């Protein structure tokens, strides 16, 4: 294949290079994978309303998230076990993200520590995605390092009190190698090979709204709640001091049958009413997807599978190129919509088509 022209091209390259287990984990969903498919299908249900005769001679895709400038409104979403996709794991992803002018949310099941990532890519915007283990001491140690390594926020994933049934993983017998470095999880899970469900069974299912204060106190960082899809929980997030919300259904990997994140976004954005920042993940494959999310109320999006396709296909350069493709496609979309920046996108630029 020549130089990839789209994330779909990188997806094909990644599939060719990966073994069946890591590929199933990366691309699969839960149950019948209805929500997984809906995350993509939703982008076809929303169409643009472009404006013409606007001065679009100069366009910027830059924005800010929690006060930090990024050159594209796309942050790399947390994806576990990245050494399975490239020997440099999250360090390569961070370097690619930094080269594209953005940052990375690092999974609790990262194969590299926050300190290693910071050393590999000095100054990169780093967020810590947090799962709370039953052994709160393990989580405490994680949060101590988060602050020391210069992370800017804690992204608490709130839709995973237990792992959903992911049948692709089970069919191929996917297990996490016992020698895979997991600096924030190995102390809790031990050294024996386990499948993801075994590992996630060690998370604390009792975590509730009252724990937000404990987490904030341990890290002294803003808390971003990942996994909100209803107005009710959006309002509670604001009341309990969250700095931002990620409208997320875990990439279609948790409760099958919940709506696509793009369809849930307007409800959450309306409930928040500008009091905290709102982001979206799930199904981002094109810069036009980013534009639709921004028009419906997101300040930025998080993309996970796309950058990891790039990581598997071409390491750091693949991650960078995937993000640059999204940037270039978003630039073109803004131009053709009559906008010069992400801030100019409004609900007036998009409409829901009949279903």
pLDDT tens per residue, range 53-83 = 999 999 999 999 999 999 999 999 999 999 9
140 is catalytic: no
Task: State the pLDDT at residue 121.
Answer: 97
Structure tokens at 249: 């259904």
The catalytic position among 142, 250, 321, 349 is 250
- How far apart, in Å, are the Cα atoms of 204 and each of 184, 201, 211, 223, 294? 15, 8, 11, 18, 33
Query: Where does the pLDDT of residue 193 fall: very low under 50, low under 70, confident under 90, or very high at 90 and above?
Result: low
- Return the DSSP state at 144: H
Q: What is the mean pLDDT of the chain?
A: 95
Query: Where does the pLDDT of residue 1 fall: very low under 50, low under 70, confident under 90, or very high at 90 and above?
Result: low
Class of domain 7-352: alpha beta
Contact of 316 with 85, CB cutoff 8 Å:
no
Task: State the pLDDT at residue 191.
Answer: 77
Q: Please tell me the pTM assigned to this model.
A: 0.96
- How far apart, in Å, are the Cα atoms of 58 and each of 151, 302, 331, 335, 348? 33, 25, 10, 9, 21
Q: Is 208 exposed, middle or buried (0-12, 13-18, 19+ CB in 10 A)?
A: exposed
Cα separation of 37 and 348, whole Å?
Answer: 26
Task: State the pLDDT at residue 192.
Answer: 64
Other CB atoms within a 10 A radius of the CB of residue 269 amount to 21
Q: Is 330 exposed, middle or buried (0-12, 13-18, 19+ CB in 10 A)?
A: buried
- Return the DSSP state at 61: -
Task: State the pLDDT at residue 238.
Answer: 97
Closest by CA position to 299, among listed 50, 47, 30, 62 = 62
Task: State the pLDDT at residue 355.
Answer: 61
List the beta bridge partners of residue 65.
68
- Return the DSSP state at 273: T
Task: State the pLDDT at residue 195.
Answer: 81
List the beta bridge partners of residue 76.
104, 303
Structure tokens at 270: 């309306």
């Amino acid at each position: 294949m020549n130089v990839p022209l789209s994330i779909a091209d990188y997806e094909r390259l990644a599939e060719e290079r990966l073994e069946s287990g890591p590929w199933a984990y990366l691309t699969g969903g839960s149950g019948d994978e209805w929500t997984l498919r809906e995350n993509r299908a939703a982008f076809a249900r929303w169409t643009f309303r472009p404006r013409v005769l606007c001065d679009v001679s100069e366009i910027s895709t830059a924005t800010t998230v929690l006060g930090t400038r990024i050159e594209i409104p796309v942050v790399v979403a947390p994806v576990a076990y990245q050494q399975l996709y490239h020997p440099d794991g999250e360090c390569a992803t961070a370097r690619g993200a930094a080269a594209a002018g953005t940052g990375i949310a690092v999974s609790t099941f990262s194969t590299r520590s926050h300190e290693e990532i910071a050393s590999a890519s000095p100054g990169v915007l780093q967020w810590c995605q947090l799962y709370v283990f039953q052994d709160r001491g393990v989580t405490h140690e994680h949060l101590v390092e988060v602050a020391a390594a210069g992370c800017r926020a804690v992204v608490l994933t709130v839709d995973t009190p237990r792992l959903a049934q992911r049948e692709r993983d089970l069919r191929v017998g996917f297990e996490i190698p016992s020698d895979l470095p997991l600096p924030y999880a190995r102390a809790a899970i031990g050294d024996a090979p386990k499948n993801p469900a075994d590992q996630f069974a060690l998370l604390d299912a009792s975590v509730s709204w009252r724990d937000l204060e404990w987490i904030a106190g341990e890290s002294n960082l803003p808390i971003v709640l990942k996994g909100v899809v209803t107005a009710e929980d959006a309002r509670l997030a604001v009341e309990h001091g969250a700095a931002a919300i990620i409208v997320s259904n875990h990439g279609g990997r948790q409760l099958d049958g919940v709506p696509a994140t793009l369809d849930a976004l307007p409800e959450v954005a309306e409930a928040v009413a500008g009091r905290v920042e709102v982001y979206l993940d799930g199904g981002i494959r094109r810069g036009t997807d980013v534009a639709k999310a921004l028009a419906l109320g997101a300040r930025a999006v998080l993309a996970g599978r796309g950058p990891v396709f790039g990581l598997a296909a071409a390491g750091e350069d693949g991650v960078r190129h995937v993000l640059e493709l999204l940037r270039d496609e978003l630039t073109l979309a803004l131009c053709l919509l009559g906008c010069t920046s992400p801030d100019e996108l409004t609900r007036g630029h998009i409409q829901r088509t009949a279903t």
